[in-house]
C-alpha cells in the first residue's frame, strides 16, 4: 500500500521516547537528510548478535539503495531479505553552553527500519547505479564511462523501502540554566561543515583535460540528487 | 586479561571478508579514528530486531564511553549489559574514477563489538564526563561550569571495552582499469573536510567575554583528546 501522505506513519519502532520536540516523520525533512549525506550505517542481526557496516547509498523516491559485490558475504546476507536498521547522521555544529551539562551538538539524523530486497529488474538496477553516481556528485553519470555488462553482473543492488522512518533534528543555540547565565564563560555555537578541498588530479591524467564545472562548483550542502 | 600488544586480537566477528588490504587491527590507527570523530552509531538487538542510535562519545585508554539521561529507555537497556556493535566513520574524499564502476570514497571507519557496562564508580564517571567535554572541544572542561551533584545524578555513564575492534581505511587515488586510462574524463580525488565555521555567540552573551583561543583555533582534524 503506497503512502501518499507528506509524513511517514509512526510505528512502535519509530516512536521517539526522548526529546520528542526534535523528532519528525515529515517526508521532505527525511529526504533532504538522505540526499545530503553520503554514508549510511546498516545494522542487522546474525545469530542474535548486532552487526554494522558503513556504506554509501542512493535514494530514488520511496526507496533507499545500496550496492556491493555479488561475492560479498554481507550482500549475500542482504539478498535473503533480512531486517535492517539504517541510520544516517549529519553533524552541523558544537553547542558550547556555559555548563558542561548542556553541551551538545547540532545534528540531523534519520533512522529507517525495513526489510532488504534484492533488485533483479535490469532497468531498476541501471537506474540505481546512476543514482549512486549522481548522489556522490551530480553530473558525473553522463561524464564518466558507464557500467558495462561484466560490471553489471558483478554488482548486487539491494533496496530498502522507505516506509518506517523518522528524523531527529537539533538546531539553534545553547540552552543554559537561568542561574548560569551570568557566568564568565563564552557560550554559543561552533558550526561545522563538510567542505570540499582542492581537487587532486590523477597523476596519469592528460593535462589537456580540464576540471569539469560540476566538480569545481561541488557543494555537498546544496546537492540535489 | 589486558591486551598490552599494539594490535587488537582478530576474532571471528572482526575478521574482514572483503577488501582485506584496507583492514587493520592496529590500536593507534583505531584510537586516532575514535579521537577524531565526534559521533558513533550504536546498534543493539531487541526482540530479534536491529536498532541503532547515533550518539557522541569519548575514549579513555581501552574503553569507549557514552552517556545519557537515567530516564532514557535506550540507556536503561544499555545498563543491563547488552551486546552492541559500534561504528565510527570519517569521510575523507570522493574518488572520481574514469569509470563509474570504480567510483568510491576515501574513508576511515572502526567497528567495535562488545558488551555494555554501567559505570558506577564516581571517579570514573567524573573522568568520563571530563572526557566527553574535552572530546567535543579540548580546553572546555576547565572553562565551563562543571557538573553539580544533581546533574551527576541525572546522568548515566556506560562503557564498552575496546577489546574486539577493527578499522578499515581507504586512502589514495583512483584505480581505473587499464583500458579506461585514455578516456577523456577528469579523474582524481575531491578531498572533503569537516571545517569549523565562524563561531556564533549566544544572543545573551556579555559582550565583554572574548572568544577563547581553544575555540578560535579549533581544528577537528588535529584534535588531541
Find how far residue A96's CA is from the centre of its chain. 26
CB contact under 8 A, A45 and B41: no
User: What pLDDT is stored for residue B22 in this prediction?
Assistant: 81
Residue in chain B lying closest to A95 (CA)? B136
- The shortest C-alpha distance from B4 to chain A (Å) reads 26
| DSSP annotation of B126 | H
B52–A43: do the CB atoms touch at under 8 Å? yes
CB contact under 8 A, A49 and B45: yes
Q: Read out DSSP for B133-159?
A: HHHHSTT-TTTSBPP-HHHHHHEEEEE
Contact B41, A41 (CB under 8 A): yes
Q: Print burial letters for B38-58: b (CB count within 10 Å at least 16), e (below 16).
A: bbbbbbbbeeeebbbbbbbbb
Contact flag B18-A198 (C-beta cutoff 8 Å): no
State the smallest CA–CA distance between residue B170 and chain A in angstroms: 13
- Summarised one tens digit per residue, pLDDT across range A65-108 is 999 999 999 999 999 999 999 999 999 999 999 999 999 999 99
Chain B nearest C-alpha distance from A188 (Å)? 4
Task: Find the residue in B nearest to A19 (Cα).
Answer: B72
Write out the CATH class of domain B20-174+195-218: mainly beta
Share of chain A above pLDDT 70, in %: 95
Confidence of residue A222 (pLDDT cuts 50, 70, 90): very low
Q: Determine the pLDDT at residue B13.
A: 81
Counting one residue from chain A and one from chain B, the pairs whose CB atoms sit within 8 A come to: 287
Residues of chain B contacting residue A141, judged by C-beta atoms under 8 Å apart:
100
User: In chain A, whose CA is at the least distance from the CA of B134?
Assistant: A100
Rounded distance between C-alpha atoms, residue B65 and residue A220, angstroms: 31
**Beta partners for residue B115, in sequence order:** B83
pLDDT value, residue B219:
78
Residue where the block lists cell 546474525: A46
Q: What is the pLDDT of residue B15?
A: 79
Angstroms from A126 CA to nearest CA on chain B: 12
Nearest CB partner across the interface for A109, out of B54, B91, B174: B54
Interacting residues of A81 by C-beta distance below 8 A, sequence separation 6+: A115, A116, A117, A118
Determine the distance in angstroms separating the CA of B221 from the nearest CA of chain A, rounded to an integer.
Answer: 12
Q: Is the pLDDT of residue A3 over 70?
A: no
Length of chain B, in residues: 225
Average pLDDT in the A114-130 region?
Answer: 98
Q: What is the pLDDT of residue A170?
A: 95
Q: Report the CATH superfamily, name and number, of domain A20-222.
A: Electron Transport, Fmn-binding Protein; Chain A (2.30.110.10)
pLDDT in tens, B55-99: 999 999 999 999 999 999 999 999 999 999 999 999 999 999 999
Ranges of residues in chain B whose predicted pLDDT is under 50: 1, 222-225
Mean pLDDT to the nearest integer, A200-216: 96
How far from chain centre, in Å, is Cα A156?
Answer: 19
Give per-residue pLDDT as tens, A152-170: 999 999 999 999 999 999 9
Mean pLDDT of A182-187: 97
Nearest residue in chain A measured CA to CA from B212: A186
What does the mean pLDDT of chain B come to? 93
- The pLDDT score that the predictor gives to residue B164 is 95
Shortest alpha-carbon distance between residue A217 and chain B (Å): 11
Per-residue pLDDT at B10: 85
Residues of chain B in contact with residue A193, where contact means CB-CB under 8 angstroms, are: 194-195, 197
pLDDT at residue A190 tops 90: yes
Mean residue pLDDT of chain A comes to 93
Closest to B41 in 3D by CA, of B109, B131, B138:
B109
Q: Are A18 and B73 contacting, i.e. CB atoms less than 8 angstroms apart?
A: yes
Alpha-carbon distance values, B2 to B9, B62, B161 (Å): 11, 9, 11
User: Which among B41, B185, B196 is the nearest to A145, CB-wise?
Assistant: B185
B209 and A84 in contact by Cβ < 8 A?
A: no
Q: How far is CA B49 from CA A89, A108, A138, B46, B113, in A?
A: 21, 24, 35, 5, 17
Nearest by CB to B186, which of A74, A189, A209?
A: A209
Q: Do B85 and A195 touch (CB under 8 A)?
A: no
pLDDT at A220: 61
Amino acid at each position: 500500500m503506497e503512502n501518499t501522505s507528506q509524513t511517514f506513519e509512526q510505528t512502535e519502532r519509530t516512536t521517539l521516547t526522548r526529546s520528542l520536540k526534535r523528532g519528525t516523520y515529515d517526508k521532505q525533512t527525511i529526504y533532504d537528510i538522505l540526499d545530503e549525506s553520503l554514508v549510511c550505517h546498516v545494522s542487522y542481526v546474525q545469530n542474535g548478535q548486532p552487526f554494522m557496516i558503513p556504506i554509501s547509498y542512493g535514494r530514488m523516491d520511496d526507496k533507499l539503495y545500496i550496492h556491493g559485490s555479488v561475492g560479498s558475504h554481507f550482500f549475500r546476507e542482504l539478498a535473503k531479505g533480512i531486517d535492517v536498521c539504517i541510520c544516517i547522521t549529519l553533524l552541523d555544529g558544537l553547542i558550547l553552553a556555559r555548563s558542561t551539562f548542556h553541551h551538545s551538538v547540532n545534528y540531523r539524523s534519520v533512522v529507517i527500519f525495513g526489510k532488504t530486497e534484492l533488485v533483479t529488474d535490469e532497468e531498476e538496477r541501471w537506474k540505481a547505479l546512476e543514482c549512486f553516481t549522481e548522489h556522490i556528485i551530480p553530473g558525473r553519470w553522463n561524464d564518466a564511462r558507464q557500467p558495462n555488462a561484466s560490471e553489471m553482473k558483478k554488482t548486487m543492488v539491494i533496496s530498502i523501502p522507505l516506509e518506517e522512518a523518522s528524523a531527529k533534528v537539533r538546531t539553534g543555540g545553547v540552552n543554559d540554566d537561568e542561574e548560569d547565565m551570568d557566568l564568565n564563560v563564552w557560550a554559543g555555537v561552533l558550526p561545522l561543515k563538510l567542505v570540499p578541498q582542492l581537487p587532486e588530479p590523477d597523476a596519469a591524467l592528460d593535462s589537456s583535460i580540464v576540471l569539469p564545472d560540476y566538480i569545481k562548483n561541488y557543494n555537498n550542502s546544496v546537492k540535489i540528487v
